Structure 1
Amino acid sequence: MEFLPFKEFTEEAGNLIRRALEELKIDAEPILETPPSGIADLALPTYPLIPIARQMKIEDITGLLYKKINELLNKLGRGWIKEVERKGVYLNFQIDQAKLTKKTLEEVLSSGETYGNLSPKKETILLEHTSANPSGPLHIGRARNPIIGDTLVRILRAAGYEVNAQFYVDDVGKQVAILTWATRNLSEESLPPCSRDKPGYRLVRYYQKASQLMLGQERVAEGINELVRSFENVEEKSLAEAKRSYQPVLDGVLESLEKINVGFNSFAHESAMIKSGLTQEVIGKLKQSSFAGHEDSAWYLELKEFGIKGKDTKFYFTRRDGTSLYTTRDIAYHLWKAGQADHLINVLGEDHKLEARQVEIALDLLKVKRKPKTVFYAFVSLAEGRMSTRKGRVVYLDDLIDEAVALAYQEVKKRRGEDLSETQLREIAELVGIGAIRYNIVKVQPEKAIRFKWEEALNFDGDSAPFIQYAHARCRSILKKAGNSVRIGNPNYTLLSHPMETALVKKIARFPELVKTMAENNRPNLMAGYAFELATLLNQFYRDCRVVSSGKFEAPRLELVKAVAQTLKNSLALLGISAPDYM
């Protein structure tokens, strides 16, 4: 059974108000608000009811409603509602804090790492993310995609869905053709030195050199186009050569992603959309559309009637030589995906908005009912501007990881160098550095751009992963100091009445509801904000409330600290971040 106390509390209050309005013969739907912390847990503004009350010649609608609600409370039972107070034109509802504290702490401590998880659903989700072209190592401009995608996968699984995290491999596109031509025609001596001893870094130099040559030499461009045509014709020799070129790059990308705790359940290949005949099926059906036309044997859809404006109104789905384009094969991929899961989610950069709309229109014309929800994200940029693998102006994810871990090591050694071994320092630096990267990228709403700054990503104070990780480590330190690693029998939870204690309990109790909200709205950034707020409350509690050697308060406060530690750990897990026991 799902633990959603505030949802139940809100439903009880809403039902109670509706019953009161019905008995008073007032036809209105209540609108509940969440007031500022410390005033109430829910509030009903009654001023919208005043015009109705005047028509009914009711002078004090607030007082009348207040009296009726309390009558019903005494008659029907209080459930989660402790009391209802009148404050001006508001009726304030207070949750039963003693009940909330007991049930919340018992739920957290009995559920452990599954606290916050919702009931299993008989629905599947195919979530495609990252799907970077295998032409070079992943740069931080695109690193937002796997971090958002992987965090969403974790959240949706916690919400009870069966999620297939999928990487779509563009193995027959122009980028792979460029790389394949390059490895066939260029020599190692013609290229600049390799910056890292890793296949992807060796091969990206070939890709970048060929990209430059393609722009100025027609022979090179034609050779690359010929490879694209051979892919389209499913020439196995060309496809095998292409795989030998791109696979080491893809393996390197996956290795880099594994370092930041990102993984996949399945891989779909673009070439499969051609081999299966789906791409040709899409082309054939789109040609029959009333919106289809052609110029010099290249087929397109006219999209003016679908709200597309300017030079992009014509969406070409074949070239003049009859070969398909990337977006055409993407339509085939989505046609295939529609039969693979109950729900589809794509994580895409904002530069793919037009393409995503073209795919959506084409799927509508093909009468495909199951279409994807898309989470668009703005890019990560540096002071030097946008990053591009083709142009060679990049900072790679591997560089970011190395720098983050190195700077984390310096900070951890400064703090704990005297009492931790070198191995421990390195282990913590790894966890902290990776956490800093993931948190700094996911904490911002996907649609907002990030201007990456090292000092912010690796800040050990404030709104950062190290701050939250340290709060968890503080909890573990308190419990270790108390010598209490097992649960205390029958602690007196009624003693947890300090404002910081009740604030912590309420924040912990809202965790499962946050999981539900994030899953419904695809908002992974909310998890980062929640974890930071919980860590901040823990620090304020630590400041105001003695735990160890606090007499009768020690037992329930230790249970509260355990619950905070578990909730912080679970929150960080959804963010793909480790929770160290010491820092």
Structure 2
Amino acid sequence: MYLQFRDEVAAALTSALDALDLPTDDLGIEDPPEGVDAVLAASAAFRLAGEVGAPPPQVAGRIADEIDAAEYDLVEAATAQGPYVNFRASDAYYEGTVEAAQSETFGRLDPTGESAVVEHTSANPTGPVHVGRARNPIVGDAVARVLDFAGYDVDRHYYVNDAGRQMAVFTWAYETFDEDDLPDPEREKADYDLVRYYRKGNEVLEDGDPDEVEAAEEEITAIMQGLEAGDEETYDRVGEVVDTVLGGMRESLGRLPAEFDEFVKETRFIRDGSVDDVVDRLQDLDEAVYEDEAWQLDLAAYDIEKNFVFLRSDGTTLYATRDLAHHEWKFQNYDRAVTVLGEDHKLQADQMRATLDLLDNDTDQLRQVIYSYVNLPEGKMSTRAGTGIDLDDLLDEAVDRAREEVEDRLDDRIRDDDLTDDDVERIAEQVGIGAVRYDIVSKQPAKAITFEWDRALDFEAQSAPYVQYVHARCCGILEEAGLDSADTDGALAGVDASVLDAEAERELLEVVARFPAVIEAAAEDLEPHVVATYTREIADTFNTFYRECPVLRDDVDDDLRDARLALVAAAKHAVGNALGVLGVAAPRSM
């Protein structure tokens, strides 16, 4: 109902300003100041004061006087308070919110008719996913979920680097070294198995015998040139390594979960001629120069100081060159293209956008989400030498810690009667991995994160377990009332919600009602962290309602009981769907 209420407020303001012969281009609709009894406020009086020649409070009063709330279904009153016009909601707003939120799909917006591709993670398939890079799949998957919930037709892509030097090194190493010369793998998993060859290869290239290194470099160059030339045997050799490592990486990413609709290999654009076409067009640009034995673009006109290198002297292209062809393919097949990148790719992102513009692409289709990295308290980490912590390690630790926390919170009676070992394991998995994911996605992407266990797994603080517990509590109330908490779609529709007039009830309804607008804003700005902020707000508001408004107590009459149960179901849907948008499990019990 919030979106409809906002539309009515906009219509009321527009009508009032038209009557006063004032411009309507900026209505200034916003959340009211804290402590104000209103759902929305308008600050247009600030903008119009100079034009009217009167102080903002006086202008706000004139606007409010022109609004007849009786003309609108959801607006109860429009009143001036200082420089603001405040809009209170009618009973129909609150009753409509209860009714709308009985749907399990509450918050999902109507289809936009637009398609979007979200490319994220795209880590080079050279070994296990490292925890320092874990923010990419978590943020990327959440962005895709937000867009999907906002009505876009979304595809999730992983762009695979299978043509660069790293994969040539990996292929050479895999074909050169015997397993007997390698340490045991850290896990029985494909990516951990093969990464040993890659690390061994880098050791040899850095510190090996000069003759051995020279021979290796010749083979590595031959592999790269074979890929560029379209040699099928070379494709097969590299593909064996790439696909095997990707298989292991996908298992790890699936635990988050982060799933993909397609793994798009860069060799695809070499083989179909797209890369050659891009190179030809780049060389024809006035900005193209040949310097330092490479073709480059001078992007000074875009305030980019470093040239964009797109072709080596030996005729081989670079990852960024192939990514240009990849982006043009996205533009041809999708209305919006979103790419999630680490902060160390900021220059590359700027060069990519500028070059795509020079190639006459509509770069308004492109949105780039830049994020900073995740650190653990001991500092930044690197995987190239086999140091640091892998994503699997982090998730295992999260589940172990969550299991301990759950066990500590269970007394013997609850443990024996209500929760089996399987239940405890399920909750530990949902809470532990949810804690990691929530802690990372809840921060603004540009801000660096130092992940801390005590904060992430704090059931009392504003963490994933805190929000998850609210969902479980809603389910518990519904189950106690004889309802199936796994299927409450419409089960409490048609109740008399007019009896929900207590302050705590109205505040919870107002927060529930805002959920679709939160999805709308998160999708517009590609900021899933605003959904996390919303989950904390609704969790706090629900807990206040829970303390002050008993649902199933004997002295609560039937009409109020049913209405409060409907409000609990509404809150469950809002919390559960918000967690789902973040990729965090919403447990029915904890």
Q: Which stretch of structure 1 is more off in the superposition, 515-524 or 183-192?
A: 183-192
- Superposed, which structure 2 residues align to 1:157-176 within 5 Å? 157-176=148-167
Aligned partner of 1:406 in structure 2 is 400
CA RMSD of aligned residues (A): 2.4
- SS of match in other structure, 2:509: helix
Q: Displacement, 1:133?
A: 0.7
> Hey, what does 1:424 align to over in structure 2?
423
User: Which residue in the other structure is 2:77 paired with?
Assistant: 83
Name the residue aligned to 1:510.
Answer: 514
**1:73–1:530 distance in 2 versus 1, CA, 3 Å:** closer
What is the distance in 2 between the residues matched to 1:366 and 1:21?
A: 49
Separation (CA, whole Å) in 1 of partners of 2:360 and 2:115? 21
Deviation (angstroms), 1:279: 1.1
Structure 1 residues 21, 446: CA separation in 2 closer, same or farther (over 3 Å shift)? same
1:340 matches 2:340: no
Report deviation, 1:29. Answer: 5.6
Instruction: Indicate the residue corresponding to 2:443 in structure 1.
Output: 444
Tell me the amino acid that sits aligned with residue 34 of structure 1: D
TM-fit CA distance, 1:449: 1.0
Higher mean C-alpha displacement, 205-214 vs 529-538: 205-214
Stretch deviating more after TM superposition (539-548 or 34-43): 34-43
Asked if 1:497 corresponds to 2:510, the answer is no
Deviations along 1:122-148, one digit per CA (max 9) or x if unpaired, are: 211111111111110101111111111
One-letter amino acid of the counterpart of residue 140, structure 1: V
In structure 2, C-alpha distance between the alignment counterparts of 1:455 and 1:27, rounded to whole Å? 50
* Cα 1:423–1:233 shift into 2, 3 Å: same
Q: Contact 2:281–2:359 at 8 Å: present in 1 too?
A: yes
Offset at 1:548? Answer: 0.7
For 1:278, the equivalent position in structure 2 comes to 274
CA deviation profile, 1:388-439 (whole Å, cap 9, x unmatched): 2213222111111111111111111122363221111111111111211110
Distance, in Å, in 1 between the alignment partners of 2:7 and 2:317 is 53
1-side partners of 2:83 and 2:579: how far apart?
41
In structure 1, the residue matched to 2:367 is 373
Q: Is the 8 A contact 1:108 1:115 kept in 2?
A: yes
- Relative to structure 1, the CA distance from residue 185 to residue 125 in structure 2 (aligned partners, 3 Å threshold; closer, same or farther) is same
Q: 1:42 to 1:16 in 2, by over 3 A?
A: farther
Gap regions ≥5 residues in structure 1: none
CA distance in 2 between counterparts of 1:68 and 1:279 reads 62
Measured against aligned partners, the alpha-carbon deviations of 1:438-461 in whole angstroms (never above 9, x if no partner) come to 101100011111112222232222
- Three-state SS of the structure 2 residue aligned to 1:447 is coil
Change (3 A) 1:469 1:63: closer
Query: Does structure 2 retain, via aligned residues, the 8 Å contact 1:5–1:509?
Result: no
Query: How far apart are 1:385 and its partner, in Å?
Result: 3.0
Q: 2:31 aligns with which of 31, 34, 57?
A: 34
2: CA distance between counterparts of 1:438 and 1:58? 45
Task: Answer yes or no: is the 8 Å Cα contact 2:294–2:311 preserved in 1.
Answer: yes
How many Å apart are 1:150 and its aligned residue? 1.0
Gaps of 5+ in 2: none
Task: Tell me the SS of whatever aligns to 1:171.
Answer: coil
Which AA in structure 2 matches 1:574?
Answer: V
Contact 1:260 1:438 in 2 (8 A): yes
Does the C-alpha gap of structure 1 residues 129 and 538 become closer, same or farther in structure 2, counting only changes over 3 Å?
A: same
Q: Is the 8 A contact 2:288 2:298 kept in 1?
A: yes
What's the counterpart of residue 155 of structure 1? 146
Relative to 1, partners in 2 of residues 1:454 and 1:65: Cα closer, same or farther, differing over 3 Å? closer
Q: 1:52 to 1:287 in 2, by over 3 A?
A: closer
DSSP 3-state at the match of 2:66: helix
Q: Map Cα deviations across residues 29-64 of structure 1 (whole Å, 9 max, x no partner).
A: 643442234412233454655554448x99955554
Task: Report the CA distance between 1:198 and its aligned residue.
Answer: 0.9
Task: Work out whether residues 7 and 513 of structure 1, in 8 Å CA contact, stay in contact via their aligned partners in 2.
Answer: no
Pair 30,162 (structure 1): closer, same or farther in 2 beyond 3 Å? closer
Say which SS state the counterpart of residue 267 (structure 1) adopts: strand
Secondary structure class of the residue paired with 1:141: helix
Deviates more, 1:522-531 or 1:217-226: 217-226
Q: Note if 1:327 corresponds to 2:320.
A: yes
Query: Counterpart in 2 of 1:434?
Result: 433
Cα distance in 1 for partners of 2:27, 2:574 equals 33
Q: Secondary structure at the match of 1:116?
A: coil
Distance 2:24 2:189 in 1: 70
Cα distance in 1 for partners of 2:546, 2:530 equals: 24
After TM superposition, the structure 1 = structure 2 runs for residues 218-367 of structure 1, keeping only pairs within 5 Å, are 218-219=213-214, 220-295=216-291, 297-309=293-305, 312=306, 314-367=307-360
CA deviations 1:7-47 (Å, max 9, x no partner) are 2243134224314423xx79996434422344122334546
1:445 to 1:62, Cα distance in 2 relative to 1, 3 A = closer
Moved more, 339-348 or 490-499: 490-499
The TM-score normalised by the length of structure 2 is 0.91
Compute the displacement of 1:85 (Å). Answer: 2.8
Judge conservation of contact 2:32–2:39 (CA < 8 Å) in 1: yes
Mapped to 1, the partners of 2:550 and 2:83 lie a distance apart of: 40
Q: What one-letter code is carried by the residue in structure 2 that aligns with 1:558?
A: L
Aligned to 2:381: 387
Q: Is the 8 A contact 2:436 2:456 kept in 1?
A: yes
* CA distance in structure 1 between the aligned counterparts of 2:58 and 2:473, rounded to whole angstroms: 52
Go from structure 1 to structure 2 and tell me whether the alpha carbon gap of 1:462 and 1:323 turns closer, same or farther (over 3 Å shift).
Answer: same
Give the match for residue 546 of structure 1. 550
Report the CA distance shift for 1:17/1:212 in structure 2 as closer, same or farther (over 3 A).
farther
**Residues 339 and 86 of structure 1, relative CA distance in 2, 3 Å threshold:** closer
CA distance in 2: counterparts of 1:289 and 1:51, whole angstroms: 50
Deviations along 1:528-549, one digit per CA (max 9) or x if unpaired, are: 1111111111111111111112
* Stretch moving more, 135-144 or 59-68: 59-68
AA matched with 2:432: G
Contact map agreement 2:5 2:93 (CA 8 A) in 1 = no
Q: Is the 8 A contact 2:99 2:493 kept in 1?
A: no
SS in 2 for 1:308: coil
1:168-217 deviations in Å (ceiling 9; x for gaps): 11111112112111111122233233211111112112112212322344
1: CA distance, partners of 2:249 / 2:400: 21
SS in 1 for 2:130: coil
Query: Structure 1 CA distance, aligned partners of 2:235 and 2:52?
Result: 76
Aligned to 2:172: 181
Call closer, same or farther: CA 1:577–1:286 in 2, change over 3 Å. Answer: same
Q: Deviations over 1:298-336 (max 9, x none)?
A: 211122222112xx2x22211121111111111111122
Deviation of 1:490 after TM superposition, in Å, equals: 4.5
CA gap of 1:383–1:391, structure 2 versus 1, over 3 A, is farther
Q: What is the CA–CA distance in structure 1 between the aligned matches of 2:187 and 2:433, rounded to whole Å?
A: 20
1:546 partner SS: coil
* Equivalent pair of 2:116/2:334 in contact (CA under 8 Å): yes
516, 541, 544: which one pairs with 1:537?
A: 541
Partner of 1:95: 89
